[in-house]
Every structure is written in structure tokens, then in C-alpha cells.
Structure 1
Amino acid sequence: MTSAESSSGSSPGGGPGALASATLLGAATMTIMAGATIAPSLPAMAEHFGAGTELRVRLLVTITALAIAIAAPVAGFLGDRVGRVPVLFVSVALYVAAGGAGLVLSDLLALQISRVVLGFAVAGVMTSVSALIGDLYEGPARDRMLGFQGAAMGFGGVVFLGLGGLLAGISWRGPFAIYLLPLVLLALIPLALGRARSGSSEPDSAAGNASPLPIGTLALICTAAFIGMIGFYAVPVQLPFLLTERGNSAPAFSGAMMAGMTLVSAVTGLAYGWVARMVPLRGLAVMAFASIAIGLGLIWLGSGTTYPGLAGLGFGMGLLMPTLSRWLLSVTPPMARGRVMGALTTAIFAGQFASPLILAPVIANSGLASGFLAASVLALFVAILLAATRPATTTTGRPAT
């Protein structure tokens, strides 16, 4: 095998090369915070579109999450049937076109439609990347890669939210330029992952027929993901307005605060492979939700505890995303990975979309800060629920660890 083949195809040990891994991680940066990239410009956008548009402007963030939640099962099904790589390539192209449309669109309705299309693209990217990680990696290498995927999401948030805050200070349209960055992936995906079409990413029907879908575990994990995202997404949707209420109205400031949270998440993801060797899956999930609950509670307490609160929330998310994916991949037959990752993606982004709607009654009656307290209580409930569950069983019949 030549060095070029090693970098873009498979390694001698049968795993993907460095370029394939880098391409998957580059695509991962586009996912979890895709809708929140424009969050720092929301107050300025509401001012631009005029009185009475504040709710519609906030929905520009969450409507993307709804579209992802709706499209993810379809994207997962297509990935299982036609291949993860073609779905990934088309999704990245759609992501660039729909995300960058905000640079030129002037009508709020047209902007909302573009955000829906962006959601369809993110659904394809996230399900394909997660399924490909399950296909191309095994054992500790998969654990490390899932941690790196979470880290890539976190570092993507640092760059996109931080840059979004700076660009929002220039113009509310500025953050939309960030969606053009993945253009480079359109060249890398065929080069780095083209071999995966006829390799590990193809469904293994024999393995799939031997193991049923883990419906009970899937329901538990998806419920946990949904509730976790209700709390997490209170930050990009509600925090800019809470900071304004507390006297810090600069878009760059809110962008920097959220970027700091995602930086903690990214660093946690980098260490995930090491942590996963010492702590069982259920313990990691409980730790994640306990940290999220503490972080949200600290944000509720006041300005002085906002920084440590965001750090706690970032730590919890750094553990949560790879843990939930790893848990499901450990109990899912290869032929169903796309659909199962699609279901998890649906739960994640349904929680993002539902976050402002579920917290709205609390905020209306008790104020913005109380919304974070309510989200903290929900996260604590999930931590207790997961602590009381029995370990899942893997496709080999062993308890998931």
C-alpha cells in the first residue's frame, strides 16, 4: 500500500487513515452547534426586523433543530441503504448553500425556510459521521474517535460561536459567512472516504439478522438525549438575553461566554478515550447529567457563578455526546447503525427545538434565570433515572461497559 492510500483509505490494520479521520472530524464540527452559530446576532436581528419579531427571530435557531429532528430518520435510512459517504457529500453541499443563504436573504420568511433546509443538511451530516465511526473503528479506537468527535463539535462551537460573536458586532448577517467554511470538505470526502462505500460502511446483513434492534435501550438513551438538550440549548437561545438583562449586552461577550463553554466540552472530549477505560457507560452518563444540572443551577444563581456554570455544562456535554453514541453503537447491529444514529440525532435536535417552548412558561412567570433552574431540575432527574437503570446488553450478549 502506498502512503497516499494509507492516508486516504485504510490503514494496514484495517482502520481508516489519518485523512479519513480528519475528514470525519471536520464534518463533525458542522453539527451540534450549527443552529447556534447565529445566536450572538439574535438581538440585533430582532431589532433589524422590527417590533413583534423577537420570537420568530429566536426560532431561526430552533427551527433548524426541528428540521434536523424530522429529517434524521430519513437520512439514517438512506445511509443504511445507499451508503453513508454519498449521503455525507450531498449533505455538506446542501449545508454550504442553505447556511450561506443568510448573507443575501432579506425576508424573514425566506430566512426561516433556508434554516429548515440547513437542518436537513445537518441531519445527513450527523447521522453519516456517527454511523461511519461505528463502521470504521472498533473497541478502544472507536471510544477515542467518539471522544474526538465530541471534541470536534466542541472546538467547532468555540470557533463558530466566537467568530459569530465578532461578526455579529459588525453586522447581523456576519455569522452566516461561517457556513461557507465546509466547502473544503467537498473535495476531501471523495478523496478520503471514497473507499468506505464498498468497505466497512456497507451494512452487514448477517450480523444485523443475528441481533434485534435494541428498542428499550434506544428509548432510554433518546429520552435522556432529549432532556439533556433542553438544558444545553437554553444557553445559545436564552443566555444572550439573560446577559443583556444582567448588563452585558455586547454580542461578542455572549459569543465568548458560549465559546468558553464549548472549549471545556472539547477538552473533555479529547480525554474521553482515557476516561472511558476507567468508568462504565452508565457511570459516565450519570456524571454527565449531574454536571449539566450543576452547571445550569450555577447560571441561575447569578452573574458571579455564570462562568463556572458554563464550565460545568461544557464538561457534562463533553462526556454526554460520546457516551450516548458509544452506548447505542455497542448494542446495535451494523445494518441498523444509520437508523439508530438517526433516532439519536432526532432526539438531540428535538430537544433543542423544544427547549425554548418548554422553558417559556417558566420564563414568562418567573423570569429568564428561572428557566435555567427548571432545566437544571430536569437534568438532575435524568441523572437519577440513569443511575437506577440496569446495564444494556451488547450485540455479543455482554453487558455494555
Structure 2
Amino acid sequence: MIRIAILSLSMLTVMSGAAVAPAVADIIAYFPNASDMLGKMVLTTPALTIIPMALITGLLSSRVARKSLVYTGIFFYMLGGAGGGLATSIPFLLSMRAVLGIGVGILMPLSTGIIADIWSGDEKAKIMGLASASSNLGGIIAMLLSGMLAAVSWRASFLIYLLGIAVWVLIFFFLPEKHPSPVEKRQSSQGIGFLGSYIRWGLGMFLLMVAFYSIPVNIALYLQSHEIGDSRMAGLAMAVMTASSFLTGLTYGNLKKALRGWLSSVSLLIFALSYYGLSTFPSALPLFCSLVLNGMAFGTLVPSIMDGVTRTAENSSGTAGTSVVTSFLFAGQFASPLITGETSGLIFGSGISNIYLTLACGVGLACIFSVVFRITTAKRVQLTT
């Protein structure tokens, strides 16, 4: 039950900002003076408060009992999440999204850091994969419920954040209390020495989220512009993608053993193909096939990065590195519509399909660099042995 309690935290985190993605088009329509950018801001505003709170949580984790931090995070998560459904103005709506970000900024580094503090080696990699799967399971539940609730009212879609109540109960009964000790404080301070490595992993996470988040922020408008479906279809599409990530996350430990150092290169290739499909074949069947591929790649790349950053400093606090990477993760979410929109406009022109074409080319280049790096590293190892 300890595993279930810890993994339940992951269910609240990665897709938290995108949980109301199926309602974006309805939210924009409700505010007559709003532009399409409002919908994107509804999904990305939480990142503004997640980033500083994740860094603060990394410091607090060595001074405050982790259960107290978790309770605080869940409180802000539900307050800001469900509170968005009461909005009567754009400023109030965005302020509630910022409050949601405070909660997620506390919970996400803890959800991964606690895993690194308890497990190690292959078992830790396995749990990291399960954590990724759990976050996507939360996304599946959120997207399906949000799509159905949005068909009734865009306000109702915000009720999905009350799922935090169930997680609070699990944490209360099954997460063991752990107070910081002088040893932990000393170890967490060692994380400063690994800051450069943390930042490198963080940059990888930033670029991954810039690419991945282009789907949640655009999917409702993409379906609408190509006359494929409404908010319920958007919810189903996101659920299919997250279901793919969920299933892949369950097998992450086995995939890592089977593909060894080639897992990242294979994942990037699949990622690139998914964006090419979205850009070239704007119809229902290719859409769902592309989203399945996208979810598969995402389901391996996130745990790969999180496993890597926690392996950087095995003897330091697990939350220290993950708090830095979490900040980059949500910075990528926030910057995604700005970077992808501007870049595609310069290269291929405006439009959501061109955004996905740009990402297909960018991720494809990253795949090539990954393959070259893997080959040169293998040759270097052979020469030294």
C-alpha cells in the first residue's frame, strides 16, 4: 500500500495543467473578448507558480516533514483546480490556475523524490516507470471525465481536481511519516555540487515538454478547425494518448533492459513520426494512431530523464535533483505555445499543422544526434577497454 500511496501522488501531477484541455474551446467562447491565447494560458499559467514552488520544495524537503508538505500541496491543488470553475472573469480564472500551480509545484518533486529516497538500482527504475504510468493513468481519468463534464458545462470540467480528496486519504493512511534529520540536511546540501548535471537533465526535460505540450494546448482547436470532433472527441483523443503512455510506463523497466542504451533514440524516432502524422494526415484514424505513438514515446522519455537525474547523485536527497528538473518541466509547458508557434511561423508558416511539422523535423534531428552520440560513446568505451 506504500507504493500505491506514493504512486497516487504522480496521478495528480504531470497532466494537472492539461486536465481541462477538452474544455478550452468552450472557455474561449464563454469570454467574448478572449483570444485563442486565453485557452493556452489556462493550460500554461500553472507553470508560473510551479517553477518557483518546485525549487522551494527542494529546500524545504530537508527541513519540513514530507507528509506536511504533501498535505499542503494537495490543499492548494484542489483549491486552485476546482476554484477555476467558479471564475466570472479572466483574471480570476488565471489566478486560480496560479494557485493550482503552487500545489503541483509542491507535489511533483516530492512524488519522484520520495521514490529515489526509498528505492535504488533496477527497482528504482521500475518504480519510476510505474510513477510515469500512474501520472498517465491520472491523465486518462482526467481527460475522459473532463470531456464528458465539458459537454455539460465548461465549469463542471474543473470538478475533476477534487480527485485530490482520494489521494489525500491514501497519503493519510499509508505514507509513512518521515521527519528530516541532520544527516539528510547535510546530504541535501551536497546537491549543489551536482547542479550542472541537474541543469543538463532539466534542459532535456524542457525540450521534451515544449514538444509534448503542443498537443494539449492545441488539440481542441485542431479538432475544431479540421471538423473532426468536439470537446468529447478532444477528451477521448487525450485519453488515448495518455493510455498509451500508461501502458508503456508499466513496461519501462523491461524496455530499458531490452534496448539498453538505444531506448532514447528509438523513443525520439517514434516521437518524430507521431508529429509527422499529425501534420500530414488531419483525420480521425491517423490522429489516434499518431497520438498512440506520441504517448509511447512520452511514456519512456520522462522516466528516463527522472531516473537519470536521480542516478546523478545516489547519496543526495532524491528531491534535490527532481525539484530542479520539475522546474524545467513546467517551464517547458509554459513556453510551449510561444516557442512552437513562433518557430513554426518562421519556418513553415502559421497554423497548428505547421507546428507539428516543425516538431517532427526538430525531434527527428534530436534522434539523429542521439544515434551519433550513442555510436561515438560505444566506440570510446571499446578503445578504453
Gaps of 5+ in 1: 1-18, 392-401
Q: Give, in whole Å, the separation in 2 of the partners of 1:284 and 1:271.
A: 12
Give the aligned partner of residue 352 of structure 2: 368
| CA gap 1:87/1:97 in 2 versus in 1, 3 angstroms | same
Distance 1:206 1:173, change over 3 A: closer
Q: CA deviation at 1:68?
A: 1.5
- Residues 1:110 and 2:92 aligned together: yes
Q: Give the distance between the partners of 2:183 and 2:304, measured in 1 at CA.
A: 24
**What do the CA deviations read for 1:354-396 (whole angstroms, capped 9, x no partner)?**
11011223565332100011122222233334444479xxxxx
Q: Of 273, 280, 304, which aligns to 1:294? A: 273
Task: List 4+ stretches of structure 1 deviating above 6 A.
Answer: none
Secondary structure of the residue aligned to 2:77 is: helix
Tell me, yes or no, if the aligned pair for 1:269 and 1:319 is still in contact at 8 Å.
yes
Please report how far the alpha carbon of residue 207 of structure 1 lies from its aligned counterpart in structure 2 after TM superposition: 9.2
- 1:314 partner letter: G
Identity of aligned residues (%): 25
Q: In the alignment, what sits opposite 1:329? A: 310
Counterparts of 1:229-308 in structure 2 under 5 Å?
Answer: 229-280=209-260, 282-304=261-283, 305-308=286-289
* Partner of residue 90 from structure 1, selected from 58, 72, 82: 72
1:286–1:387 Cα contact (<8 Å) kept: yes
Superposed displacement of residue 53, structure 1: 3.5
In the other structure, the counterpart of 2:322 is: 341
Rounded Cα–Cα distance in structure 2 between residues aligned with 1:80 and 1:279: 36
Match of 1:27 in 2: 9
- TM-score by length of structure 2 reads 0.90
How many residues were matched structurally?
370
Partner of residue 333, structure 2: 352
Amino acid in the other structure paired with 1:247: E
Which moves more between the two structures, 271-280 or 377-386? Answer: 377-386
**Cα distance 1:294–1:202, how it changes in 2: closer, same or farther (>3 A)?**
farther
Letter in 2 for 1:186: W
Q: Structure 2: which 5+ runs fail to align?
A: 376-385
User: Is the 1:80–1:339 contact (alpha carbons within 8 Å) kept by the matching residues of 2?
Assistant: no
Contact 1:208-1:333 at 8 Å conserved across structures: no
Give the distance between the partners of 1:233 and 1:189, measured in 2 at CA: 29
How far apart, in 2, do the equivalents of 1:324 and 1:180 lie? 29
CA distance in 2, matches of 1:389, 1:81: 40
In the TM superposition, residue 328 of structure 1 has moved relative to its aligned partner by: 0.8
The answer to whether the Cα contact below 8 Å between 1:225 and 1:348 also exists between their aligned partners in 2 is yes
Matched, 1:56 2:35: no
Matching residue of 2:368: 384
TM norm structure 1: 0.86
Contact 1:27–1:129 (8 Å) recurs in 2: yes
Residue 186 of structure 1: CA displacement? 2.3
Deviations 1:74-120 (A, max 9, x none): 12221233243321221011111111102322121011011011011
- Equivalent position of 1:315 in the other structure: 296
Cα root mean square deviation, aligned: 2.3
Relative to structure 1, the CA distance from residue 175 to residue 371 in structure 2 (aligned partners, 3 Å threshold; closer, same or farther) is same
Partner AA of 2:352 in structure 1: L
After TM superposition, the structure 1 = structure 2 runs for residues 132-171 of structure 1, keeping only pairs within 5 Å, are 132-171=114-153
In 1, the alpha carbon distance for the partners of 2:185 and 2:119 equals 15
Question: After the TM superposition, which of the residue ranges 295-304 and 347-356 deviates more from structure 2?
Answer: 295-304
In structure 1, what is the equivalent of residue 382 of structure 2?
Answer: none
How far did 1:34 drift? 0.4
